[in-house]
Amino acid sequence: MRQVNGKVIGTVQGVSFRQFAFMHAQELNIRGWVKNAQDGSVEFCAQGEIMAIQKWLKTLQVGPPASEVERIEVKWNPPKEEFTEFSVIH
């Protein structure tokens, strides 16, 4: 089990990015959360198998059709708490 914290920077708010991240996290059995940040980015915390997280991050790099991802900043950490599901924080 690994954990990654980070943010997606670009045109990622108002384009269903959080729902996109949620849907793909569910498919890959990733737990954690995603939320809009004050600076216009989308922040996330994801836990799961390293290969699943890496695949999820590649999917986020593409994003939903209306998004434009400039970059993703990530920091790998050992899990500090264990999540039981993936959620969208409003």
Cite the active site residues: 18, 36
Question: How far apart, in whole angstroms, are the C-alpha atoms of residue 71 and residue 85?
Answer: 25
Number of other CB atoms surrounding residue 25 within 10 Å: 27
Amino acid occupying residue 68: E
How many of the other CB atoms lie within 10 Å of CB of 76?
Answer: 11
- Separation of alpha carbons 77 and 71, rounded Å: 19
